[in-house]
Amino acid sequence: MRKKIMLLALLLLCVNIAYATELKGTIYNSQLELQKDAIVEINTEPGQSIVSKDGTYSFNAPEGNYLLSAKYLNGNDIELFAEEEVSMPAEGSYTIDIILFDYIADEEQIEMDISSGLEENNTFPVYFGIAFLAIIIAAAIFAILWMHKKTRQVQSHIETELSGEKELGDDLEKIISIIKAEGGRTTQLEIRKHIPLSEAKISLMIAELEDKKIVRKIKKGRGNIIILN
């Protein structure tokens, strides 16, 4: 009996060791707001899945490489989606924040679905299919124009806000220019590519811009995303 108890304790210890690696993070939407009620999954064996009620997630898994995915549903349809390849080479705690973007169905799958529908129903008028494609194209054009308009509005707002700021140093102005050139957001690594300064110096300058409420920083994996306010 004592041997069985000792064997059971050893097995439990092995399970704890195998899952001593923790993966956790925060979930945001494309507006960098906390996204609640997202479904987060990781392809461990067996797979794990949770519904994040508070916008955070946490998994315990063995060391290794995994695919981490998250989605937000509107009814039965996927509204927001993201995937991340995760590497956990050693025991410890890993933080991977997830940013969800609008989910767009694969174009090839859309074409296959349309073709399949036409083959199954030979009486389906051809002009219905043409009209459907025309609606998709018109919707895409509208979306592009709307996004362009919103981008111009955001850029105008940023310029207005920055015009009231005190004059910044050349290096800080250069960081702002780089972020604006990247559409209002970029990574700290990308900024370092354009400014030949040490990582510590770049971090200090970004911190100064954060203090001035000009930018905000979001941790993304092992790097940072810098966004103009």
Whether 113 is covered by a domain: the verdict is no
20 plus 96 within the same structural domain: yes
Q: Are residues 29 and 81 in the same domain?
A: yes
Residue 29 is predicted with a pLDDT of 93
Domain membership of residue 114 (yes or no) is no
pLDDT value at residue 14: 46
Residue 107 lies in a domain: no
Q: Which domain holds residue 177?
A: 170-228
Predicted confidence at residue 27, as pLDDT, reads 95
Predicted pLDDT at 129: 77
Q: Which two tokens stand for residue 5?
A: 């108890």
Which CATH number fits the domain that encloses residue 61? 2.60.40.1120
Q: What is the predicted pLDDT for the residue at 162?
A: 56
**For every residue of 110-124, which 3-state class applies, written as one string?**
HHHHHHHHHHHCCCC
Structural domain includes residue 72? yes
Is 45 domain-assigned? Answer: yes
Encode pLDDT of 139-197 as tens digits.
999 899 988 888 887 776 666 555 544 445 788 899 999 999 888 889 888 888 888 88
108 in a domain, yes or no? Answer: no
Sites in the chain below the pLDDT cut of 50: 12-18, 107, 110, 164-167
